[in-house]
Structure formats: C-alpha cells, structure tokens
Amino acid sequence: MKKSIMVLVALVGFSSVNVMADEGADLFKKCAACHGAQGEKAALGKSKIIKDLGVAGVITALKGYKDGSYGGPMKGMMKGQVATLTDAQITAIASYIAK
C-alpha cells in the first residue's frame, strides 16, 4: 500500500511538471516574436537575453514588470504583456525559458 501511494505521488508530480511545461510553452509563444524562439534575442535590441536569466531571474523580472518595480526602456510595454499572468503562469514561463 505504501509503495503504491509513493508511486501515485511520483506520477502526479511528474504529470504536474509536464502540464507546467506545456503551459509555459504555450504562454511563451507570444514572447517569442520579440525574444526569439529560445529566448536568445535581445527584444527590440534593448532587453537582456532572457534564456540566460535562469528561472529565478525570469520570475523576478516578470513579477517586477507586473508590479512596476522592474525594467528599463521596455518597462511600459512589458507591464502590459504580463498584467494578466498569474504567479503559476509566470513560473511556467520561467521554467520553459530556462530548460
């Protein structure tokens, strides 16, 4: 019984990771136009290369854009892009970019 529960927990956890990765990929599609398919471009020649930020860096940036506490020349544009994202969606995007 204990082994079955552990296997179930492991499968549910794995399933959650897959769902997060799929959601991150879907959400990133609108980002790719400026940041590149792999997050390899400086958006409009002004941003950092987001693939190099890591999960925590992307989360910090996106949450900061959302609350207005982060950003340089693209601050206004990015605030609009992230305004409706939930914390879970921000984490999914960050995980996808960092993979």
| 2-98 CATH | 1.10.760.10
pLDDT tens for each residue of 60-78:
999 999 999 998 888 999 9
Q: With a cut of 80, say whether residue 15 has pLDDT above it.
A: no
Average pLDDT score over the chain = 85
Residues in the chain: 99
- Domain segments of the chain as ranges: 2-98
Burial tier of 10 (Cβ tally within 10 Å: 0-12, 13-18, 19+): exposed
- pLDDT on residue 77: 92
pLDDT category, 5, cuts 50, 70, 90?
very low
Measured in degrees and rounded to the nearest 5, phi and psi for residue 59 equal: -60, -45
Decide if pLDDT at 1 tops 80.
no
